[in-house]
Amino acid sequence: MLDRETLTFVGQKIQPHLDERLTRLLAGTIARACGRGGVSAVASAWDISRNTVIDGTKEIDSGAVVTSRIRRPGAGRKRIEDTDPEILAALDGLVEPTERGDPMCPLRWTTKSLRTLSGELTRLGHTVAPDTVASLLRYLGYSLQAPSKTLEGKQHSDRDAQFHYINDTAKAFLNDSQPVISVDTKKKELVGNYSNTGQEYRPQGEKRQVNGHDFPDPEVPKAIPYGIYDMFRNEGWVSVGDHNDTAQFAIASIRSWWQNMGRTAYPDATRLMITADCGGSNAARSRLFKVELATFVADTGLEITLCHFPPGTSKWNKIEHRLFSHISMNWKAHPLESLRTIVELIGATTTRTGLKVKAERDNRVYPTGIKVTDKELAAVPLTRHEFHGDWNYTIRHTPRRTPQRRE
């Protein structure tokens, strides 16, 4: 039999490199080779339990097979749901109390972090660590999820029919090589050294220093980006104003797109389709928008077809997820310190699918409260479509003089 000094030497050199199973098997093998008293000698020299050595000898005697399993079946700490069968129901009730019929749950109005859930379970008599709570939540089928903006309130009965109408009309225009654009006003932005959501890579410890609050400066107007997205060419134009988001500003932005991008891209165009929201500066009910659009038609000679999205469905407008979302991602974490900064950041927006964006500052003044008379509206050469003429209409170029707006 090997002496204790040799057994200790082997244990010190080999044991640190072995997992639990290999330690058990090697200890059992050496104990068998040592003969009588080998189990006690190996256990003492290696500072392990005699039962571990005995288990190793039994596995060797029964013919140990090659396996990736380290512990014997049934070995290791028992699962907490086995030792505490009621913990799953308690946790489930804490996470979704209203759905489990417990509106008086103490966590009804509390952010349910792992630490909070762990503390409340412990208070209820189920001692458990936050990491274990995470494992139990996965076992119950829970995962981290953000709210989904899908509920649109009361839907118009012709909502889906209007979507199909817009889609079919756009296809007809594109098949005839006529431009189709999506327009809208992006969210107004604070101008100044304010925090902007998002993160960016910077040298360690060199964070951007921004204002400690987001209270707007009454002396600095907000930036108003009005965008035009060309669906066929995957190009965008954004006019950045700082006065008022009016129908005049909307048409001025569309005019700028046509002068700087549209007429060059579509030299043979005779018609233009515009998709827009039902509200805002390009609202379907806006008289001023229609009158200004008629002026644009008279100046360009284009026949323009407007198709408005039903109320409450603005997020379906292509410009939202084809242009505005990429602009927001491009300037994340950048303080929008000036209108020039905003224009440059918008103009630098690109995507892997080839999006190109041009931006320009519009420093003109657009007054509010302009009234359009019935006579001025009647002078607009507007033809309502048979399907929802309040949402879908065409303004044609005619020789007669279109009304001019008062400044």
- Residue 143: pLDDT band (50, 70, 90) is confident
Spell out the residues 6+ positions from residue 149 whose beta carbon is closer than 8 angstroms to its own. Answer: 315
> 406 forms bridges with which residues in the sheet?
none
Measured N-to-C along each axis, helices 287-300 and 247-257 cross at an angle, to the nearest 10 degrees, of: 30
Cα separation, 192 vs 221, whole angstroms: 10
As a whole number, mean pLDDT of residues 280-296 equals 96
As a whole number, mean pLDDT of residues 100-129 equals 76
Q: What is the pLDDT of residues 192-226, one digit of tens each?
A: 988 888 887 778 777 888 888 888 888 899 999 99
> 316 forms bridges with which residues in the sheet?
none
DSSP 223: B
Q: Count how many Cα atoms sit within 13 Å of the Cα of residue 150 in the half-sphere of its side chain.
A: 3
3-class DSSP state for residue 88?
Answer: helix
- What's the pLDDT score for residue 403? 53
Q: Count how many Cα atoms sit within 13 Å of the Cα of residue 84 in the half-sphere of its side chain.
A: 16
Spell out the residues 6+ positions from residue 372 whose beta carbon is closer than 8 angstroms to its own. Answer: 287, 288, 291
Residue 406's nearest CA partner among 363, 373, 359 is 373
User: Which amino acid appears at position 293 of this protein?
Assistant: L
- What's the pLDDT score for residue 69? 59
Summary count for the chain: helices (H), strands (E): 16, 8
Q: Is the pLDDT of residue 114 over 60?
A: yes
Q: Model-level pTM?
A: 0.68
| Cα→Cα distances 51→39, 138, 252, Å | 9, 36, 87
- What's the pLDDT score for residue 401? 53
What are φ and ψ of residue 352, in 5° steps?
Answer: -70, -20
- What's the pLDDT score for residue 405? 54
Q: What is the pLDDT of residues 303-346, one digit of tens each?
A: 999 999 999 888 889 999 999 999 999 999 888 999 999 999 99
Q: Is the pLDDT of residue 1 over 80?
A: no
Residue percentage of the chain with pLDDT more than 90: 50
Contact 156, 311 (CB under 8 A): yes
